[in-house]
Structure 1
């Protein structure tokens, strides 16, 4: 089957790969909650297993992203997700912490590699901003299905069902990748002008800014369920808010695609971290259901919208797409640090301290994003390259 990033077969494969690779972004509360509630692990041990997955994914992305232009994307993505499926299937057969830890490391490494292939390929599309928005919308649909169905499946069949669901998601992604994963086409005649050239400073500032936003996302999202319960919202109401969050997450990616040429990317990158921090502060200090539910429902949308614009800018600053292939490292570095930092802050300073920390991280992200626009104006203003 002939596919490319400009055919819907190729785009569908990238959608599936993106959803599988970004599984942690959707599953984090259910993942940790199942390890605590069903497997009876202490919070530190439960969080530690997820952190092992994330750190392994980060290291894998760091390893494979610089080599993105030198390895075949389709078989690499398919094999990576197949290995992740096998690792999660193995997790359904044991409750031993050490074995689960090893399997989480294997699954994380495989997922990080597969997701790097997907994001690097998206970065080499004719319009990376638009294609990243498309796969982001797919993730929103996936989030609704996952958050709506998985808790009921776990309640009916036990905690091992979580890893069965994970294994199924990875297996589907492996099959689809093998059949339809598109090649990474050159976006311009000199797109591979130097596969070993150093990235410009603006790219590194953009990478660090995205990592900061991912840190805030993980700090708050890891405790958003606990905040609601401690504020007296109730378990069923919190579940409803999380489902609403999934529905809202359908909107920011297509909105970012529509507004690509109507909004200043500089303004979006500066406003995104600030809006994220304000929402985090309101969530942490909320004293009523509305004050908790509304910002929680739109919280992840800010990250998705801002990251879509950042993805488009980085694709122009780095025609080789090595930086975009490292997207898992950008996101999962923050995701890995967030639960640990958040736990320390909640334990020592309470939820209010978590909100203040979000404001501090937002300021750092805004400073970093402001440096992205120190790059040549001609590069930032250039239209998306055509294949």
Structure 2
């Protein structure tokens, strides 16, 4: 076993790589809202473009996950984010919708590969729950910065500014990964000469459960800004909600680290989808601003908290890192469907239909999570970092 711990700069590289690859979790409402307001696309078209980015991420993540142990994570991460930065840089120029679609798909392919290398490396750490919580706190800081500055910058400069910001984030991630991306801390089973075990059935159910939660997350979050705007809430009020959401997102990963040994992972995974669905329904159906603002402020935090427990548990159930290298796929296969499904529902049946859909999908997520154990078997548990 490789006993080296990740250096400080290695932790920074993982945090920056995680933030860049998970930009959709933070930026969906601004992304979709910008495409509708500044590019004059309807909700279905706007959701479809974001869906192409997410489908690209899913495909590259699925392709890379089974090969994770045979690739050099540093160069996959650096190269992937460099290509994504180029795609977003081109998107910041005036383009037709077809070209925008191609660039969204290409950017998703590149960013998904980079994020797979990042999550596979985290999963192979001595304490994947704690390390995923650390990068989750970093994502919360990024959310505060992005949501606090980007809406007004885009309103002042135009829609192109969104893609310029994305391009800058991806370029920074490429540079940091090229310099400091760490090697996995645990040796892979197949490098020790033994056959790699099949991924446990419980892990597959966990993957489906997280995918269902990601679907609710993206379907709701994509139209969080739009539903507030269409109800007559001011730009300042909606931006304020997004800023509060960003600050709230500083907490869930840290809390997940604190409660790692205190709460059963299975209990968290059973409650998380229920709470997420109820918040989604509140956002889409509440008539007043305060109910909307309260639910929206904590909505993303539920996903971050629940997913940290899921990541830690499943990384220990499947210690080779293959399943967790597919984290972008399990998140984005749901997230890819969400924007276009949400746009279709809004276009045909109004915002209330999103709340009803969230409740149905949340029930499926609970069913899947119920198949996971409360803790990994002791034979698979790793020593803390």
TM-score bracket for the superposition, by shorter chain length: over 0.9
Distance 1:187 1:384, change over 3 A: farther
- Deviations for 1:313-347, whole angstroms, at most 9, x for unmatched residues? 11111111111000000111111111222233334
- Report the Cα distance in structure 1 between the residues aligned to 2:218 and 2:192, rounded to whole angstroms: 34
Displacement of 1:79: 0.9
2-structure distance, mates of 1:160, 1:194 = 51
Shift of 1:194: 5.5
Is 1:214 the counterpart of 2:214 in the alignment? yes
Cα distance change on mapping 1:103 and 1:254 into 2, 3 Å:
same
Aligned to 2:297: 297
Rounded to whole Å, the distance in 2 between the matches of 1:256 and 1:191 is: 32
- Indicate how the Cα distance of structure 1 residues 194 and 252 shifts in structure 2: closer, same or farther if over 3 A, else same: farther
Task: Name the CA distance, whole Å, in 2 between partners of 1:44 and 1:270.
Answer: 32
Question: Partner residue of 1:267?
Answer: 267
Report whether the alignment pairs 1:17 with 2:14.
no
Question: Residues of 2 paired with 1:380 and 1:235: CA distance?
Answer: 51
Distance between the aligned counterparts of 1:268 and 1:10, measured in 2? 29
What's 1:241 paired with? 241
196-205 vs 242-251, which moves further: 196-205
| Matches of 2:42 and 2:324, distance apart in 1 | 36
- SS of equivalent residue, structure 1 residue 372: coil
Query: Within 5 Å, which residues of 2 pair with 1:135-174?
Result: 135-174=135-174
Task: Work out which of the residue numbers 378, 382, 385 in structure 2 matches 1:384.
Answer: 382
How far, CA to CA, are the matches of 1:127 and 1:86 in structure 2?
34
What whole-Å deviation, never above 9, does each CA across 1:209-251 have from its counterpart, x for those lacking one?
0000001111111121222233333332111111111110000
- Measured after TM superposition, the shift of residue 348 of structure 1 is 3.8
Q: CA contact under 8 A between 1:134 and 1:253: conserved in structure 2?
A: yes
- Quickly say closer, same or farther: Cα 1:364–1:222, change in 2 above 3 A: same
CA 1:10–1:195 in structure 2 vs 1: closer, same or farther (change >3 Å)? Answer: farther
Q: Shift of residue 195 of structure 1?
A: 6.4
- CA drift at 1:378: 5.9
Q: TM-score, normalised by structure 1?
A: 0.93
Find out whether 1:325 has 2:356 as its counterpart: no
- Deviations along 1:341-368, whole A, 9 cap, x unmatched? 2233334443332222211111111110
**Cα distance in 2 for residues equivalent to 1:47 and 1:4:** 43
CA 1:4–1:35 in structure 2 vs 1: closer, same or farther (change >3 Å)?
Answer: farther
- CA offsets 1:153-200 (integer angstroms, 9 cap, x no match): 223332222211111111110110011000012268788676654211
- The one-character-per-residue Cα deviations of 1:290-316 (angstroms, maximum 9, x if unpaired) are 211111100110000000000001111
Q: Structure 1 residue 252 and structure 2 residue 255: aligned?
A: no
Q: Cα gap change, 1:193/1:316 in structure 2, threshold over 3 Å: closer, same or farther?
A: farther
Matches within 5 A, 1:301-312: 301-312=301-312
Contact kept in structure 2, 1:69 and 1:195, CA below 8 Å:
no
What's the counterpart of residue 51 of structure 2?
51
CA distance in 1 between counterparts of 2:36 and 2:361 reads 29
Instruction: Name the SS of the counterpart of 1:212 in structure 2.
Output: helix
Return the alpha-carbon distance in structure 1 between the equivalents of residues 277 and 86 of structure 2: 38
> Could you say if the C-alpha distance between residues 351 and 40 of structure 1 is closer, same or farther in structure 2, counting changes exceeding 3 Å?
closer
- Cα deviation 1:365-385 (Å, max 9, x = unaligned): 1110111229xx662796434
Of the structure 1 ranges 311-320 and 92-101, higher mean CA displacement relative to structure 2 is found in 92-101
**Equivalenced residues, count:** 383
1:103-141 C-alpha deviation (Å, 9 max, x unpaired): 112111000000000000000111100010010010111
Unaligned runs of 5+ in 2: none
| TM, length-normalised to structure 2 | 0.94
Deviates more, 1:228-237 or 1:71-80: 228-237
Name the counterpart of 1:363: 363
